[in-house]
Structure formats: structure tokens, C-alpha cells
Amino acid sequence: MKFKNTEYLKSAMLGLIVADALGVPYEFRECDTFKVTGMTGYGTHNQPAGTWSDDSSMVLATLDSMLETKKLDCDDVMERFVHWFDEGEYTPYGECFDIGHTTLTAVGKYKNGYSATRCGGRGFSDNGNGSLMRILPIAFVEHTVDDILDLSSLTHAHEISLMSCRLYVQITENLMSGMSKEEAITNLRCCVDECEKIPQMKDYPREKIRSSGYVIDSFEAAVWSFVNSESYSECVIKAVELGGDTDTVAAIAGGLAGIYYGIGGENGIPEEWIDTLARKDWIIEMLDKAICN
């Protein structure tokens, strides 16, 4: 398996991971009760600055699986999720400190013998953001729609989660093809009513944006932050300051902003934020390996 769009791969993944770490200290806090000025630590999870969460752990596990198996191997991805949760692999400090209920249930099912793509929750109540937050790596390999759905179904298999993942990948591909932000979100093929507002996010007032762990809320909040900002830092700070599921909303937005703005310069991912990341050298090494693969 060859990685594609490699000129965007590093900025996309770092965009997600940096934004995740930016949001970790503020998770579950209410909108407009705090201000974000840069990378900080402690707060909700009492972790040092630069600490990323389950969002990035699962992204890195997926990317590493693709690197090692040279294909999308859902069983191998799930094995790595098990090692992440049980043994602290793909974590900043050797311990999983955050995991969603639906993801935890899916990992438990896999350990009890379920096939990988039958582990994800299929009820409406299973539509957390736990697959949307980790779907980004598939945009950098050749894939089918079924591949996107299978990767989501490892943890989240309801049609709303599946379509959210499919649309997010479409947006990333639109951006990498050279579309503007507005074009990227309006040129979508959507067949689930719950996602119908995504192309309209540019015009939504902030007070109508919710940033809960429900996948549609997270998706809308991330896209709203992206299309209503002019730089990477403005985008992810807006996402975090919405409150609620701050790390995941920021991570989803950060992946898009990383693709669009790149690294460094006036509008790109601040290099001092990248330097703060836990296990930065290991992350960069994995990304460089994917680019050179």
C-alpha cells in the first residue's frame, strides 16, 4: 500500500494531533467560560502541556497498521486498539487516560471474539464521535467507500456515523484537490438527513453551534470553526472555545486546517505548538516513514 497526497500527510496529522492536545485541558468545560491563548496543560485530565488523547492514539494506531501491513487490515487495526487500551501503546505516557463508552464496548467485543467490523455499535445512541475523530488516515491511501464504512464500523456502525466519516473524507479530498474551504464543504454527496447542514456551516451563527460528543454536533462544530477562520490557530482555538468535547472537535477541525494551511508561516500550524507535543520525535518519524513509503 502506497500513501498518496503525501505533500499533505504530515500537516494533516499534525494538525489533528496538535489540536487534540490544545483541547485536552478544557474538555467538558462550558462555552465562554475560558479563553485559549496557546498550548497549556493540566486542567480536566491533569496532563502536561502537549498531551494528546484517545483521538490521536487511535489515529496513530491506524496509520501504523497501514504502514506495517501495507493494506487496510481491520483486524490488525483492532488489535492495535486493544494494545492501546490494555497496554498503553500509542499513548503519550504509556497509559490510556481517555476512552469513549462505545469504543470501550467495541474493544471488549473484539477481545471476546467478535469479528472486527461487527464490533461497532449500531444503535442511534452509539453515534458518538469516536470514529469520525480517527478516520483521517484513510484519506491518504487508495480506498473504496466500503473501506471507510468498515473502518468506522470497528467502533461506530450506525448510518449517521458512517455517513459522517464518508463526508469528512470527501471534504479532505476536496481540499487536497485544490478547492476552497467553501467549495470543499458544498461539493458533497450526502444521503443522510442528519448531515444536511454541513454544507451550510459558513452561515450559521456561533450561538447555534453545539459541541457535544454526538457525532453530528462535533462534525458541525468542527466544520463551522474551519470555514469561519483565516488561519490554523484561529480555527482550532475557535473549536476549543466552543467548550464541550473540546479535544475531539478541535482534532476534527485541526485535520482540515492542517491540510489547508500547512505547517509554520503566518497561517500554518505554529511550530512551537508542534514542539510541545509529547513523543514529538516518534510521531514525526512515523509520518516521515509514511511519506517515504
Q: What is the pTM of this model?
A: 0.97
pLDDT at 2: 87
| Degrees, nearest 5: CA angle 173-179-181 | 95
Res 114 pLDDT > 90: yes
Q: According to DSSP H, which parts of 24-118 are helical?
A: 54-69, 74-87, 101-111
Residue 285 CB neighbour total at 10 angstroms: 11
pLDDT surpassing 80 at residue 190: no
Answer whether residue 245 is part of any domain. Answer: yes
pLDDT score of 189 = 81
What pLDDT, on the 0 to 100 scale, is given for residue 26? 96
Q: Examine residue 200 and state whether it is found in any structural domain, yes or no.
A: yes
Q: Over the stretch 38-92, which tens digit does the pLDDT of each residue have?
A: 999 898 899 999 999 999 999 999 999 999 999 999 999 999 999 999 999 999 9
The reported pLDDT for the residue numbered 97 is 84
Residue 1 has pLDDT above 80, yes or no: no
For residue 87, CA distances in Å to 41, 64, 94, 134, 197 come to 24, 16, 7, 19, 40
Residue 1 lies in a domain: no
The grid cell for 164 is 459522517
Domain span including residue 185? 6-292
Supply the CATH number for residue 41's domain.
1.10.4080.10
Closest CA to 120 of 74, 73, 166, 80: 74
pLDDT tens column, 204-256: 999 999 999 999 999 999 999 999 999 999 999 999 999 999 999 999 999 99
Per residue in 255-273, pLDDT (tens digit) is 999 999 999 999 999 999 9
Query: Could you tell me if residue 181 is inside a domain?
Result: yes
13 in a domain, yes or no?
yes
Q: Is 47 helix (H, G, I), strand (E, B) or coil?
A: strand
Asked if residue 206 is part of any domain, the answer here is yes
**72 in a domain, yes or no?**
yes
Distances (CA, A) of 262 to 14, 103, 111, 137, 234: 9, 30, 39, 16, 14
Helix (H, G, I), strand (E, B) or coil at 287: helix
180 within domain boundaries = yes
Whether the pLDDT of residue 8 is over 90: the answer is yes
Residue 254 contacts by C-beta under 8 Å, 6 or more apart in sequence?
A: 15, 16, 17, 18, 19, 20, 22, 232, 235, 236, 239
State the total domains in the chain: 1
Mean pLDDT, rounded, of the chain: 95
